[in-house]
A and B are shown apart, each in its own frame.
Chain A
Amino acid sequence: MTISTTQRGRATAAVSVAAVLALTATACGDDGSGSGTEGSGKGEITFWDNNGGPRTAVWTEIIEDFEKQHPDIDVTYVPIPIADVQSKYDTAIAGGGLPDVGGVGTAYLANMVSQEALEPVNDRLEKSALRGKLVESMVESVRAAAGRGDDVYSVPTSANNGVLWYRTDLFERAGLKAPDTWANFYTAAEKLTDAKKNEFGYTIRGGAGSIAQALDAVYGQSGITEFWDGDTTTLNDPKNVAALEKYAGLFKRTTPAADVNNDFTKMVAQWDTGTIGMLSHNLGSYQDHLKALGEDKFAGIPAPIGEGGTRVQVSNPVDGLGLFRSSRNKTAAWKFIEFAASHASNSKWNESAGAIPANAEAAKDPWINETESTALAAKTLTDGSTKIVDLPYYLPDWNNISKADNEPEFQKVLLGKITAKAFLDDMAEQLNAANKEWKELGNG
């Protein structure tokens, strides 16, 4: 049974179509990368925290301190979950609505710089109280990661470092030495494994974030200290291939089979609650281990030393604060960045996060030496004894290549579906092509 169509129905349809067209037309606005203005240095600014949640409390404290010192500036704090920060920035860059200041890690800095979202801060740094106060290697890291020559697009605030966490109680019981060399690491991984009792020597990262960790193990063992040899990556060097074969060979032999899907949350959770000898992560999980295991049952050391007697590790992302081009109040936004990167605020933030401060004065504060793992990591980054292989964060394609494109491939290596050589050859080819493209655009 049907009932007739009316004139009113047609009119409604016409109005609907017009509304859709009108709304679509409004979608042709600015791209969010406008030039902005210096502003009055007063009023409201918006700050996006790129690790919203875990750091909300300390940021709230820093913002309160800032607003006391600058009563004419109000900071709106926006916590963004770390896993989605890049898509949030990308949407705001494409659709508008970027903040004045935002937390930016080197892992996605180049992507934002290539979209012209951030403003270079060299001139502001030159005239700032921060001049000469920031750890030089971290400034260099953010400069290199942006991939725009000498221009610096974020003020570094902290660095993390890879840590090999190990269960001291299990090591003592098995009469093992600390895994401070790769040879000791492999011996311990074998000896601590008894799969029938659900005991394993190591937990490997096979899921999200697996590539950086695998590269750390690969370069750490091979002793190769440069990522590039001219325009070609050293990634698929035979020494690296051999190192990856050995490392991936741990899967299922000395690790749980479920590790193939391990992201850091699963990896840390199973290490904290199970009977696993070693875990490669970074300083950030210290508090989790402390809560779960207590102070006496674990320790953390930097990456093991290779056969050549030198510790080699890949560069870890440096976190920083970026000033957005589209800000209508850059003067106030810069005041906030200066305050957040100052000695007191930077020390407070890094102590809370268990990270290494970018402010050189904060890096000398007593709390650094209170935790052995943090002290060792800070020493590793500053005393020159460790060779750092700089990963090409400056390539706009780096994030795709090191995550979406190759994490599933690494799982295939673990499962024995492709060889370590095929995996590294393929990834090297992608990196060489991305590097060539980047250079053809006049970079490097």
Chain B
Amino acid sequence: MTALLTERNGTAPRSTAPGSPPSARRRRPGRERAFDDVPRWQIYLPLGLYLLFTLVPFYWMLLFAVRPAGSTSLAPWPMTGAHFSKVWNERSFAVFFQNSMIVGVATLVATTLVALAGGYALARFDFRIKGAFMLALLCSQFIPGALMLVPLFEIFRNLQMINSLGSVVIAETVFQLPLSIILISGFIKNVPVSLEEAAWVDGCSRFTAFRTVVLPLLRPGLIAVGSFAFVHSWNHFLFALMFLSEQDKQTIPVGLNTLIGADSVDLGALAAGGVIAAVPVVVVFAFIQKWLITGFSAGAVKG
């Protein structure tokens, strides 16, 4: 194939290493070849610049977090852990971290489970108001959380749930669900229904067929939706601020904001708090990036 293309174009394939086996050359698709023809620096230079642009704020945060107060050095040396110690021990970030983790994981589980059920219904069932329901899900994305703050506050107060992490989990889940349901529905539509039908023929119930046949195929989608729910609830500030009052219930974003005073700000502590807040998100993305990209592209294109 490569040889044929070369003959037609009248040019030799520049990236083909001399002596490489013909079978290897044959495996290379045309588009990949096109990229191979581009000089490496034209790919890596823009990527490097973009990476630099993206990483400078992180470097700045790390720098402030580890350099001593009053230092103006642009290198993180001499290094100190004083800011981390201060926010973790004196400013209750150990507690905030634990609360954020509870909210994040609970929102992840609740969102994924409900979105799975809702997405399955939308993908596999046909009902009269399905179109309107989908439209309502889409429209709900336009409602800002702040608009619902007072009604939600009143509801949770009447349910005796103010100052409970449960109120934040419920609110976060509710706001995460529309997009999650739409995404999951798209993933499920990609799984041929004939696979389920085969399982039914073999005697499986609908639930067993779903659990044993469909669910394993949804792994990229579930990871995408779950991680999205986790990261969003981990970072979300408004509901935690409004629904949680006692200090031992507050979450990392609220804790970060308490590091900014009316007239003064401890930048070292703020940066150390920012690093603590960023670590779980970075770790989550590092582990799941492969699934995440697969999941989002699959759900987005064919939804």
Contact = CB atoms under 8 A, between A and B. Distances in A.
A79 B158 contact: no
B126 A3 contact: yes
B259 interface: yes
A294 interface: yes
A88 B242 CA distance: 6
B279 to A, nearest CB: 21
Nearest to A294: B70
A9 B151 CA distance: 28
Interface residues of A, number: 55
B127 interface: yes
Interface in B250-293: 254, 257-267
Given A5-B125, A81-B254, A76 B263 contact: no
A81 B125 contact: no
Interface stretch (A94-102, A147-155, A245-253, A330-338): A94-102
Contacts of B193: 1
B258 A56 contact: yes
B245 interface: yes
B52 interface: no
A293 B70 contact: yes
Given A2-B124, A26-B155, A27-B151, A292 B257 contact: no
B70 A97 contact: no
B257 A288 contact: no
A221 to B, nearest CB: 24
A235 B162 CA distance: 45
B247 interface: yes
A76 B155 CA distance: 23
B260 A81 contact: yes
A84 B154 contact: no
Contacts of B204: none
B70 A292 contact: yes
B125 A3 contact: yes
A160 B263 contact: yes
A78 interface: yes
Nearest to B242: A91
Contact of B265 (A52, A88, A97, A265): A265
A109 to B, nearest CB: 15
Contact of B246 (A4, A56, A78): A78
Contacts of B266: 54, 288
A285 interface: yes
A281 B263 CA distance: 8
B124 A53 contact: no
16 contacts: A2-B125, A3-B124, A3-B125, A4-B125, A5-B125, A54-B258, A54-B259, A56-B247, A81-B241, A82-B260, A84-B241, A91-B242, A94-B150, A268-B264, A282-B263, A288-B265
Interface of B: 69-70, 72, 90-91, 121, 124-128, 149-151, 153-155, 157-159, 162, 193, 241-242, 245-247, 254, 257-267
Given A94-B150, A284-B262, A285-B263, 4 more contacts: A54-B261, A81-B257, A91-B153, A95-B151
